[in-house]
A and B are shown apart, each in its own frame.
Chain A
Amino acid sequence: MKRVPLHGIMAEFDNPTALVVAIHKTRAAGYRVMDAYSPFPIEEVSEALHIHDRLLPILVFFGGLAGCIGGFGLATWTSMIDYPINVGGRPLLSWPSFLPITFETCVLLAAVTCVLGLLGLNGLPMPYHPVFNVPQFALASREKFFLCIEATDPQFHRQETRRFLETLAPLSVAEVEN
């Protein structure tokens, strides 16, 4: 693997609006490989970063589908094959009464897939990430907003990128060591 001396260059902002504006300007300047960090979810940030992750909804859909089939299959198997009981003369395949459990297992597997998929696709748990090397970054979970242009961006240049970020009126700009 090629050794990159820097992870990227990071700018610190005071409020979410400034962060979103900075992302728009950064993309307009041609940078593409960047990430933003904020104490709370900001929908505009995902849009501004052009994050179009279509994988998780698809995973959740198939998780839910598996739950549907599994729940209905379990009820059908237990009451038709494994332990058939005549309940008040009803057919063994009493599908209306299987639907509540089908729905429940659908929701359960969809939710579990969503949580695990979210963690997995984000690469969590992640014991080390270079952004934490910047001392100010401790405030990212409290009150400050960060934008990091990463060194893998083809347009990345140690001095140029730093100068560019300084034009966005940040509170501070710092190099992120790997």
Chain B
Amino acid sequence: MSEPVRSTRFDLAPDHVLHRIQGAALVVGGLGIIGCVIGIFAAREAFFHAYIVSYMFFLGLGLGSMALLMLQYITGGAWGAVIRRILESATRTLPLMAVLFLPIAFGLTHLYEWARPDEVAHDAALQHKALYLNVPFFLGRAVFYFVAWITTAYFLNRWSLQQDAAADPRLTRRLEMLSRGGLLLYALTISFATMDWGMSLEPHWFSTIYGVIFMGGQGLSTFAFVIPMAALLADRPPFSRIITPTQFHDLGKLMLAFVMLWAYFAFSQYLIIWSGNLPEEIPFYLARTRGGWEWVGIVLMVVHFVLPFLVLLSRDLKRHARAVSIVALALIGARFVDLFWMLRPAVAPEGFAIHWLDPTVAAAIGGIWLWLYVSQLKTRPVLPLNDPAIPREA
């Protein structure tokens, strides 16, 4: 670890499978957009209900990546240095997520009860909450969140690229200082953003741990995305000499930690509301344990906690890039189930149902997101050049 300076650049090989994935993502995204346009006219309500779920997932990848980047700058560790460019590329999709917020901004009345004046007129509680839950303030807060996130992501990316050109310890220090404030800002903004966009779907209900559940979920989504990405990169030298089983072991351990963290947060909310048994708190779980949603909840416990927890205990599995990637991809599916279960019952009280727009919107946002992601990944060396935390070649 004495000579951190690396002279060779680590670029994506021109024949790498990611190029084909990028093309496929664009096709899927394009088809998804066509489906969405049909959906907006054929089933407008269902479109917005599907949109918020997929939107929160892909927003979570960008924000979770940003949070993990900052966490690594503060705490150090090779696990974060080898995936830094994978994370940075995801944070550069945040401007896209800001643009993709526009449909939500234009469709507020389809999603939020408090945005429909005729309903607020008959609801004393909503009139009382109108000081916070009103359209101009809601949009103003959204602008503030995106400015905060994109600014943080901009400087994280800019200074990291400068570090490639020169091993300047002042840059490392500056990134560390930014990360300290940035993590605090992330925790506050994500708490308010999920309160605005998710919790206010049920404007009479409240939970103080709601934002934290989303934070844990974003961290898990990010690891579930990063591990297969790292496995794709590590399929050949020189990456395979840097991203070794040791790195996958570390990433797998952190993913296991986030599986447990999510279960801890989700259960904390349940236990407190269940014990309190108060009429203003329990509607959240009443809506989610009826009309078929109870089965989604049970599936969620199994696929989001029990199964990944048990398989990720294995040391050999975590050290095996392909095996841990399969678990990670399954966890991405589980994340969708979680967001679906958290958000959908709030707007569709008639019971569990999957609309054809659910996969369509996920394909549209996901396809465009992945296409942009890979194009961002290609613009820089895939491993940072002058970072002392990068392990030496094995």
Residues of A near any B CB (own CB < 8 A): 57, 61, 88, 90, 96-97, 99-100
Cβ of B379 < 8 Å from any Cβ of A? no
- B275 CB contacts on chain A under 8 angstroms: 96-97
Interface positions of B (Cβ within 8 A of A): 267, 270-271, 274-275, 277, 313, 315
* Residue pair A96, B270 in contact (C-beta under 8 Å): yes
A96-B271, A96-B275 given; 13 more Cβ-contact pairs under 8 Å: A57-B313, A57-B315, A61-B313, A88-B277, A90-B277, A96-B270, A96-B274, A97-B271, A97-B274, A97-B275, A99-B267, A99-B271, A100-B271
Question: Please, which residues of chain B bring their CB within 8 A of the CB of A100?
Answer: 271
Q: Which residue of B lies closest to A90 (CB)?
A: B277
The interface residues of chain B lying within 8 Å CB-to-CB of A90 are 277
The smallest C-beta distance from B227 to any residue of chain A, in angstroms, reads 21
11 CB contacts below 8 A, A to B, read A57-B315, A61-B313, A88-B277, A90-B277, A96-B270, A96-B271, A96-B274, A96-B275, A97-B274, A99-B271, A100-B271
Q: Tell me the nearest residue of chain A to B272, going by C-beta.
A: A96
A167 to chain B, nearest CB (A): 26
5 A-B pairs closest in CB distance: A96-B274, A96-B271, A97-B275, A96-B270, A97-B271
Consensus secondary structure, chain A interface: helix
Residue of B nearest to A60 (CB): B313
Set of chain B residues within 8 Å of A99, measured between Cβ atoms = 267, 271
Q: Which single residue of chain A is at the shortest CB-CB distance from B246?
A: A43
CB distance from B297 to the nearest CB of A (A): 13
Determine how close the nearest CB of chain B comes to the CB of A62; give it in whole angstroms: 13
Bound: A57/B315 CA distance, A:
10
A163 to B271, CA, bound (A): 68
CB distance from B50 to the nearest CB of A (A): 31
A residues within 8 A CB of B270? 96
Q: Which residues of A contact B274 (CB under 8 A)?
A: 96-97
Which residues of chain A have C-beta atoms less than 8 A from B315's C-beta? 57
- Docked Cα-Cα span, A173 to B274, in Å, equals 68
Residues in B with CB closer than 8 Å to A57 are 313, 315
Complex Cα distance A100/B263, Å?
12
A139 to B241, CA, bound (A): 34
Q: Please, which residues of chain B bring their CB within 8 A of the CB of A97?
A: 271, 274-275
Question: What's the least CB distance linking B7 to chain A, in Å?
Answer: 23
| Chain A residue contacts of B267, Cβ below 8 A | 99
Would you give the shortest CB distance from B304 to chain A, in whole angstroms? 16
In the bound complex, what is the Cα–Cα distance between A57 and B274 (angstroms)? 35
> Which residues of chain B are near A96, meaning CB under 8 Å?
270-271, 274-275
Residues of A close to B313: CB separation below 8 A: 57, 61
Instruction: Report the separation of the CA atoms of residues A100 and B272 in the bound assembly, to the nearest whole angstrom.
Output: 12
Q: How far is the CB of A165 from chain B (nearest CB, A)?
A: 27
Q: Looking across the interface, which residue of chain A has its beta carbon closest to that of B274? A: A96
A88 to B274, CA, bound (A): 12
A61 vs B309: C-alpha distance when bound (angstroms):
12
| Complex-state Cα separation, A100 to B315, whole angstroms | 26
Report the Cα distance A151→B26, complex, angstroms. 66
Once bound together, how far apart are the Cα atoms of A90 and B271, in whole Å? 13
CA distance A100 to B274 in the complex (A): 14
> B307 CB to closest chain A CB, in angstroms?
16
User: Smallest Cβ distance from B54 to chain A, in angstroms?
Assistant: 31
Which of A57, A61, A88, A96 gathers the greatest number of chain B CB atoms within 10 Å? A96
Q: Which single residue of chain B is at the shortest CB-CB distance from A87?
A: B275
Alpha-carbon distance between A100 and B270 when the two chains are bound, in angstroms: 12
Minimum C-beta distance from A47 to chain B (A): 10
Tell me which residues across on chain B come within 8 A of A88, comparing CB atoms.
277
Chain A: minimal CB distance from B355 (Å): 32
In the assembled complex, the Cα of A97 lies from the Cα of B275 at a distance in Å of 8
Enumerate chain A residues within 8 angstroms of B271, measured Cβ to Cβ.
96-97, 99-100
User: Shortest Cβ distance from A24 into chain B, in angstroms?
Assistant: 14
Could you tell me the distance between the alpha carbons of A61 and B271 in the complex, rounded to whole angstroms?
26
Quote the shortest CB–CB distance from A178 to chain B (angstroms).
36
Chain A residue at smallest Cβ distance from B270? A96
Nearest-Cβ distance from residue B298 to partner chain A, whole angstroms: 14
Output the nearest chain A residue to B271 by Cβ-Cβ distance.
A96
CA distance A96 to B313 in the complex (A): 24
State in angstroms the CA–CA spacing of A61 and B275 once bound together. Answer: 30
Distance of B270 from chain A, by nearest CB (Å): 7
